[in-house]
Structure 1
Amino acid sequence: MFSNDQVAEVSLEAPVKTLDAVQGDKVDTRFIAGSCSVQEGDTNHLFVLRYHREANQLAVDARLPHETGPVAKICTSPSDKTVVLTYAEDSTEATLWKLPTEAMNRNDDLDFDDDADDADVPLSTEAMTVSAKLETSSSRQLVDMVWRSVSDDEPSAMGDVFTMDQAGNISQWDVAFGAAESTRQIEANIKDSKWNLPPKLACDPHDPEAMAVASGSRVHMVDWRTQETVADFMCHHRYGITDLDFNPNKPHVLGTAGQDGLIKFWDLRSSRQPLMVSRGGHRHWVSQLKYNPFHDQLLLSAGTDSLVNLWRFSTISSAPLLTFDEAEDPADTASGPNVRVAQHEHLDSVYATAWGASDAWVYASAGYDGKVGLSNVPSKEKYKILL
């Protein structure tokens, strides 16, 4: 039996900068990673990954050619596991793909033939098909994309898709019927950042009409009802903000990550000073920040220092933990309310992490070296949150 702290790892033998859980699959733990090779003659792919819990193994179920170029962003449908959105690097349009059913329905066991070469395994006899193109009205390249999850009272809906270009122009798309129709546009009125960072987009899970856009060291709050930026505040990240994410359970709380290697949390109702600053987790840029979608005490951060950190931030969560084991085990560094509880190191920079869609206690990370690792939240952390 494997230990809870063992990492399941697979090598895709290609650089990877984006990863997403298959949100529409609530039975099997699946992820999709995209390669981003820029070498002439290389074909980039989407890799369908499946976690085999009994053996603690992560395996590739399908390797599907991505004909539009190096994959810059992946967003999977919240309701259909065979539908995914991507856009390529330096592209001005996103593509809505239909994945082969064969690839997404595999449920066979792993083949433990040690002599087999994963690259030679026939992973799928079908190919992806293009359902629609999301073409922006501007000539600016896309820099971010969000597929907002559907609400509980609309389980059959496809959700809303938002794309943002380099100038901060945001478009909302209706992709419910396999086509793409632009329904609304708004300009975030961002200013050029002296740090030369692309703007980042986040949907407020507590207000369907609100979004946050990070540009440089500022965060702009956008309201679709008024079609304008309703708030604009400085987040005090030296060298600029690299990512942001809303607390899924506690309204008005936003986390930001920066090139200064710090993670900061803000109450949007009074943003002059951060609620908390997390230091020491990264030696270089923090490339991604991601809340656990169910347990907001837990948060992932990834960095260009090759590190992936699992954090517990209890005091600013919706359900602060009341007791800790400091007296019983003073040597335990993960016994305080706001601590790093696990750390994993890749061989190269890490730009992508994802929480499992069918299991809230697993998470995956992809390094630029092409290795994808899957980890489990330590059992001790589960018990602190659930009991």
Structure 2
Amino acid sequence: MQGASTGIVYGGLKYQARCIADVRADPDHTSFLAGTLSLKEENEVHLIRLSPSGNEILCEGLFYHQNEIWDLKSCPYDSRILSTVYTSGEAYGASVWKIPEISSQSNSPQLDQLVSLDEHTAKIKSVLWWPLGKHDKLVTIDERNIFVWSIDSSNKIAKVISQESVGMLHNLSGGAWDPHDRNAVAAICDSSLQCWDLRTMKNANAIEHAHIRDVDYNPKKQHILATAEDEFGIRLWDLRMPKIPLKELPGHLHWTWAVRHNPDYDGLILSAGTDSTVNLWQVSVGSEDSAIDSPRDRRSRQIDPLLNSYTDYEDSIYGIAWSSQDPSVFASLSYDGRVVVESVKPYIQRK
């Protein structure tokens, strides 16, 4: 199903971009951070907000960031703190930053670097914050290792408290932190998804034979996660039964790069990829305590899970983010730097 786009467009990013994040810790606004990816120009982080009327996207802050931004996350408990993974040519790095007081600056200010996550010798890929609130740990993933950091932002201190190598036979590219378990992280490997226990720093589980580009845990149901895969689309998994996916949704014509569960509406999922399309899905995976589908679950399987395809893009889409403040709203970022904010209210089933 394709619907005409009614999204609100923000065209303030001057350069190519692939990173967008919801500002979960902002209690009063639907806010997002977007970062650019220019090889020759000084890059920028944009703080954008949906206007109170919902008809306009406002730029609330523009901050210089010297290097290309390949990963961008907003701190889930402090709206002025964020992390980036960046490169300056050959060298990769990661830092935690603080947004300066906007009102006291007349020009676009630099971000205040709180800590540099500089213990990595391999190419760093991703910084993970525990998604559900205050936590004094960070996880970073490079091509060969998983690090756990102790972070003290107020005193600008970051220390590695544990580290584990996945070995030279493997190549990590990212991951996600389980919102139901502070000790569980899913790491994307070459042809598998590896689930790590941060207490022992050992591989506790794995989904094999899957070429995954993104992973996201279901915030409402434990053990359930979604993966975005090269040639297939997205798959839903129960980690207690990792050999066979619960659902397979082949809704993209090219590589699927991103997948996100809605923070509030269970079963509502976004996917996006290099086919310049964002897909909105409604997928039921049944109750947690029932191995046998109910008649209602069987009926739901017969309904097309694809609610809508947003196709009003001219470039690949690498970034999508739901709003935590208004879960009926999401933002997507195409490689040409175009942010589109959409409402999915017409597709939300009344409870």
Common fold, TM-score beyond 0.5?
yes
- The answer as to whether partners of 2:213 and 2:229 remain within 8 angstroms in 1 is yes
Structure 1 moving runs of 4+ over 6 Å? 317-324
Corresponding residue SS for 1:379? helix
Shift of 1:101: 2.3
* Distance in 1 separating the partners of 2:337 and 2:123: 25
* Distance in 1 separating the partners of 2:72 and 2:57: 19
Q: 1:341 to 1:65 in 2, by over 3 A?
A: same
2:83 corresponds to: 85
1:212 corresponds to: 186
Shift of 1:244: 1.0
* Distance in 1 separating the partners of 2:214 and 2:71: 14
1:31 corresponds to: 32
- The answer as to whether partners of 1:9 and 1:373 remain within 8 angstroms in 2 is yes
* Distance in 2 separating the partners of 1:217 and 1:278: 19
Shift of 1:182: 2.1
For the pair shown, which has the larger CA radius of gyration, 1 or 2? 1
* Distance in 2 separating the partners of 1:226 and 1:158: 19
* Distance in 1 separating the partners of 2:156 and 2:100: 18
* Distance in 1 separating the partners of 2:202 and 2:118: 22
* Distance in 2 separating the partners of 1:209 and 1:381: 33
Structure 1 or 2: larger strand share? Answer: 2
Aligned CA-pair RMSD: 2.9
For residue 374 of structure 1, what is the amino acid of its counterpart? V
Q: Any stretches of 5+ residues in structure 1 without a counterpart?
A: 106-121, 152-156, 327-333
Alignment of 1:112-127 (within 5 A): 124=107, 126-127=109-110
Q: Deviations over 1:303-362 (max 9, x none)?
A: 0111111111123476999979x9xxxxxxx99655121222321111111111211111
Which of residues 142, 145, 152 is equivalent to 2:124?
142
Alignment of 1:305-344 (within 5 A): 305-316=275-286, 337=303, 339-344=305-310
- The answer as to whether partners of 1:205 and 1:246 remain within 8 angstroms in 2 is yes
1:75 corresponds to: 73
Normalised TM-score (structure 2) = 0.87
Alignment of 1:233-248 (within 5 A): 233-234=207-208, 236-237=209-210, 240-248=211-219
- The answer as to whether partners of 2:62 and 2:109 remain within 8 angstroms in 1 is no
Alignment of 1:56-71 (within 5 A): 56-67=55-66, 69-71=67-69
For residue 256 of structure 1, what is the amino acid of its counterpart? T
2:148 corresponds to: 171
- The answer as to whether partners of 1:148 and 1:159 remain within 8 angstroms in 2 is no
**Alignment: residue pair count:** 341
For residue 314 of structure 2, what is the amino acid of its counterpart? L
Shift of 1:124: 4.5
Q: Deviations over 1:239-291 (max 9, x none)?
A: x2111111111111121111113211121112121111111x11111111111
Which of residues 252, 267, 292 is equivalent to 1:282?
252
Q: 1:322 to 1:170 in 2, by over 3 A?
A: farther
For residue 134 of structure 1, what is the amino acid of its counterpart? L
Q: 1:129 to 1:261 in 2, by over 3 A?
A: same
2:138 corresponds to: 161
* Distance in 2 separating the partners of 1:308 and 1:188: 35
Q: 1:335 to 1:257 in 2, by over 3 A?
A: closer
Corresponding residue SS for 1:221? strand
Q: Deviations over 1:90-120 (max 9, x none)?
A: 54431221112226x9xxxxxxxxxxxxxxx
Alignment of 1:372-387 (within 5 A): 372-383=339-350, 387=351
Shift of 1:171: 2.9
Corresponding residue SS for 1:232? strand
2:7 corresponds to: 7
* Distance in 2 separating the partners of 1:282 and 1:53: 34
- Please, which moves more after superposition, 11-20 or 94-103? 94-103
1:351 corresponds to: 318
Alignment of 1:252-267 (within 5 A): 252-267=223-238
* Distance in 2 separating the partners of 1:28 and 1:322: 40
Corresponding residue SS for 1:13? coil
- The answer as to whether partners of 2:139 and 2:146 remain within 8 angstroms in 1 is no
Normalised TM-score (structure 1) = 0.80
